[in-house]
Structure 1
């Protein structure tokens, strides 16, 4: 991504990227860049756009390069510090270094598998967001896709418990928190608890802690490059890691029980999510004691509906016995998950 409105700089960088057959996403300023900023493998910020980017407080991340056309290196150093850039390149002297970075990036991107990212958030406590998130990951596995379930709620009890995998050995969040930058996707996935095509990065119940956004960036990057689907189970109270996942998500699913109080609570949650995503949709969960319909809830919240699911007899008992949600491929939850996978372009899931 290049953030700049300097015509001369745009011409030079666009031409360079074109010659190397590298796709370049151009944004004129921080507002245009914000939604895609966390997901770009490399961000170039022109010196003329740097002050506005600093004021906009874009999310912290690695692989940000300040590209300067002014001559004062002291001034460039100040701008680089303000935007959190880890490299400074001054045109035209530093063009060879930029070519090297583009070549390195091209080698990574052309071999990468870009998976879909879904984020799931509960409209209130106990809404069933973690069960839906786990169900999506499991359903992807049952239809031949590879998936990564990312547990982003340190106080949620652990996504591995919902899968019934609490005794499966593998890396949890605390072991990843000191890691930043790109990692080898097969190596990371291979270190996680996994069965079949499903892997999970879960919180550790023995050491609940805040999740650094750097570790979340590492997990999302590895998941998108190495899996067909990444599902992030997010807390209702957003932290920096959750915001990063929201902005990376192709679809954000707000799970709302079909109850009046749940709708009111979900409205508040939706208001906190909206500044970070334009891909928010609602999933309505039954039963509906007051006979609220999914379309009514959708209209009340002002959100499109991704689907609804009725109460599934026997599901709580199966979860208590350690059986993953939607594992059998049958029932209302599995059908909803297949529909959602189909809607985000994972065609093998589009069977319901």
Structure 2
């Protein structure tokens, strides 16, 4: 045992199996002891101690300490509370009803809250083919250079798959049909299993929709957004234009939602329809104008017609469309796409810091 991992003292095999399962979901490794006597020497050093009722029934031989949980099956009875008080238990957790609380305790050990909370950013196209997925990927790549890193999340099961866009479709790792989370989760543990897009300075984890099966469940997406914010990671969500329950959750939780709008009259009309639904969920909206207007209308006027502020104007990037079609997503550190992503990220950080004051 290392003393740096939670210590589990459980004789009941059923309860032990449940504790191990919850810890695995939270990405938390455990040290185990069959009883209090065997735990001597590790009791004081462990960041968290989890007991079952069998262990708590033994005469108390350890000094009292904080961070001791007692896990029981079903509702605790008077005897359970008596044992908990005698051993100095901080909290009694009943399974399965309070599984989220146990997962949260493990997640706190794995991932202590960052000094600076992470960002949640949403990207949605004003019309089909606006380039929202491309911009979401560029935004996540820019954010991944930060100390907390980034996570790119595909919230559009009909979008063709962000793994395909980033040439990761053959890379092993879970997609949304394989991910089922709730309550507290460890985003670092999840990110370690995901396909990654290598770039200069690191590699970006990508949680994509599968070629078949459902997209994100609202409980799973909510757990990831909370975990990302808690760990200081920027989570970028590529959102569908028609919002489902999970996408609505992302919009409502986002620090900023970016509407990507081509400089075209019909695109502005379509964007107004998308914006109408977004504005019922959040006021934290901004526009990225892309392309070149045939009528010479600048991006700032397009944003003015829509309402939200203009965050960036992104002129056409030479070779970008052809590279995307070839499955060669560009990771250029310069150019209109990278520059617009950097500007938007700067605005998002500034507004989040102002809101926190």
* TM-score (norm: length of structure 1): 0.65
- Distance in 2, matches of 1:108 and 1:247, equals 24
Q: How does 1:218-233 map to 2 (within 5 A)?
A: 218-226=223-231, 228-233=233-238
Q: Is the 8 A contact 1:153 1:233 kept in 2?
A: yes
Q: How does 1:270-281 map to 2 (within 5 A)?
A: 270-281=275-286
1:307 corresponding residue in structure 2: 312
1:245 corresponding residue in structure 2: 250
Task: Return the match for 2:143 from 136, 140, 145.
Answer: 140
- Distance in 2, matches of 1:100 and 1:284, equals 52
Structure-2 change in CA distance of 1:346 and 1:172 (3 Å): farther
Q: Is the 8 A contact 2:133 2:162 kept in 1?
A: yes
1:335 corresponding residue in structure 2: 339
Q: How does 1:1-352 map to 2 (within 5 A)?
A: 100=91, 108=108, 111-113=112-114, 114-142=117-145, 146-176=149-179, 178-194=180-196, 195=198, 196-205=202-211, 207-226=212-231, 228-325=233-330, 327-345=331-349
Query: How many residues are paired up?
Result: 248
Compare 329-338 and 314-323 and name the one that shifted more: 314-323
- Distance in 2, matches of 1:340 and 1:301, equals 18
Q: Is the 8 A contact 2:287 2:311 kept in 1?
A: yes
- Distance in 2, matches of 1:319 and 1:312, equals 12
| Structure 1 segments unaligned to the other structure (5+ residues) | 1-86, 88-95, 348-352
* TM-score (norm: length of structure 2): 0.64
Q: Is the 8 A contact 2:148 2:231 kept in 1?
A: no
| Structure 2 segments unaligned to the other structure (5+ residues) | 1-74, 76-84, 93-100, 352-357
Structure-2 change in CA distance of 1:131 and 1:201 (3 Å): same
The alpha-carbon deviation at position 298 of structure 1 amounts to 1.2
Q: Is the 8 A contact 1:235 1:242 kept in 2?
A: yes
- Distance in 1, matches of 2:161 and 2:232, equals 21
- Distance in 2, matches of 1:141 and 1:280, equals 22
- Distance in 2, matches of 1:132 and 1:277, equals 20
The alpha-carbon deviation at position 143 of structure 1 amounts to 6.0
The alpha-carbon deviation at position 258 of structure 1 amounts to 0.1
- Per the alignment, in what secondary structure is the counterpart of residue 163 of structure 2? helix
- Distance in 2, matches of 1:322 and 1:335, equals 21
The alpha-carbon deviation at position 210 of structure 1 amounts to 4.6
The alpha-carbon deviation at position 145 of structure 1 amounts to 5.4
- Distance in 2, matches of 1:328 and 1:143, equals 17
- Distance in 2, matches of 1:246 and 1:266, equals 16
The alpha-carbon deviation at position 144 of structure 1 amounts to 5.9
The alpha-carbon deviation at position 228 of structure 1 amounts to 2.6
The alpha-carbon deviation at position 227 of structure 1 amounts to 5.1
- Per the alignment, in what secondary structure is the counterpart of residue 276 of structure 1? coil
Q: Is the 8 A contact 1:185 1:225 kept in 2?
A: no
- Distance in 2, matches of 1:274 and 1:187, equals 34
- Distance in 2, matches of 1:294 and 1:309, equals 9
The alpha-carbon deviation at position 323 of structure 1 amounts to 2.8
**1:211-235 Cα distance to aligned partner (Å, 9 max, x none):** 3211211222233234531100001
